[in-house]
């Protein structure tokens, strides 16, 4: 199944509009190109509706939030809704400030999101409308393990039903749910936490996969999450003794570039609940 979804990305080359984190915008663009999609980065309110109209999906990331781009996010999201195109939200650091929380809640109120993707601390804070996160990082106490997986699955299902979106929660075990069916994905490597941008790249990747298979957003999201995790595994295997997180980041993009649908189909490790 994941193989077929990745094949769709390769065949359709979806064009993805990103209003995203300026810290990682370059990496997001490169991972979209690597998977077979194409990026556009436009965040001025005077052009975002026009740009959205020519794209197959919209990726909204609040990582470097400012008042100017909030208006653009709303315009782009609403335009994509009007055109029936998928919109992905990455509520980066949503519990870290009032502005982030207020913005994320306003976006959720005014835009219909296909997928909401974040780490466990972000999704928990978003779901309750309160709480704190370590900036963009998950709190250690929130990590998903075999011991708390059932609880996280139940939480993801409930929040997916409440928001009527696919919820993707990233951790040592990734959880992706549409409220009825949940994928627990076991790909990835701890070193993925060692560089800035892995989560932002994943949001872009999810948008491309969902844009290529819009009628199966749950499966497309799960396939993207598995692909990113598998790329992290492959990248770690390439590292030499003298290489560190910078090389690892580049090798992760390389792994997506060289990944085939067959490699993903064979390498994806997941269970369905």
Q: What is the rounded CA–CA span in Å between residue 40 and residue 244?
A: 30
Could you please state the CATH topology (level 3) that the domain comprising 2-272 is classified under. 3.40.1190
Q: Is the separation of the CB atoms in 268 and 187 below 8 Å? A: yes
- How much of the chain, in percent, has pLDDT values that exceed 70? 95
| Mean per-residue pLDDT, 167-175 | 96
Q: Of 99, 96, 137, which is closest to residue 120 (Cα–Cα)? A: 137
231-271 pLDDT tens trace:
999 999 999 999 999 999 999 999 999 999 999 999 999 99
| H helices present in 136-197, as ranges | 149-163
Mean pLDDT of the chain: 94
The H helix count followed by the E strand count for the chain is: 11, 9
The reported pTM is 0.95
Q: What is the rounded CA–CA span in Å between residue 155 and residue 128?
A: 11
Q: How many residues does the chain have?
A: 273
Domain residue spans of the chain? 2-272
Q: Is the separation of the CB atoms in 86 and 210 below 8 Å? A: yes
What's the Rg (C-alpha) of the chain? 17
How many alpha carbons fall within 13 Å on the CB side of residue 171? 25
- Rounded-to-10 torsion of CA 172, 64, 131, 186: -10
pLDDT band at residue 130 using 50, 70 and 90 as cut-offs: low
81-111 pLDDT tens trace:
999 999 999 999 999 999 999 999 999 999 9
112 versus 140: the higher-pLDDT residue is 112
How many alpha carbons fall within 13 Å on the CB side of residue 144? 26
The predicted structure's pLDDT at residue 143: 82
For the cut 50, the answer to whether the pLDDT of residue 1 exceeds it is yes
Alpha-carbon separation of residue 33 from 30, 132, 208, 237, 269 (angstroms)? 5, 34, 10, 22, 24
């Amino acid at each position: 199944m994941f193989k077929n979804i990745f094949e769709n990305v390769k065949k359709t080359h979806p064009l993805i509009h990103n209003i995203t984190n300026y810290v990682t915008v370059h990496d997001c663009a490169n991972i979209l190109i690597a998977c077979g999609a194409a990026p556009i980065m436009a965040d001025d309110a005077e052009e975002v509706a026009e740009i959205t109209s020519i794209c197959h999906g919209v990726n909204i990331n609040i990582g470097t939030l400012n008042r100017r781009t909030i208006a653009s996010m709303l315009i782009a999201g609403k335009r994509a809704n009007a055109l029936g195109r998928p919109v992905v939200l990455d509520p980066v650091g949503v519990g870290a400030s009032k502005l982030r929380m207020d913005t994320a809640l306003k976006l959720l109120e005014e835009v219909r999101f296909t997928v909401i993707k974040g780490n466990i601390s972000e999704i928990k804070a978003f779901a309750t409308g309160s709480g704190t996160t370590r900036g963009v990082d998950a709190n250690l106490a929130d990590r998903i393990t075999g011991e708390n997986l059932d609880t996280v699955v139940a939480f993801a299902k409930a929040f997916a039903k409440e928001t009527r979106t696919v919820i993707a929660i990233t951790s040592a075990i990734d959880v992706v749910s549409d409220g009825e069916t949940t994928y627990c994905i076991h790909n990835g490597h701890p070193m993925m936490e060692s560089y800035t941008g892995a989560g932002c790249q994943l949001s872009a990747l999810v948008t491309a996969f969902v844009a290529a298979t819009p009628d199966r957003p749950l499966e497309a999201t799960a396939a993207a999450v598995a692909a990113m995790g598998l790329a992290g595994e492959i990248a770690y295997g390439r590292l030499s003794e003298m290489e560190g997180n910078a090389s690892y980041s580049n090798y992760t993009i390389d792994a997506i570039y060289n990944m085939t649908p067959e490699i993903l189909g064979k390498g994806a490790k997941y269970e369905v609940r």
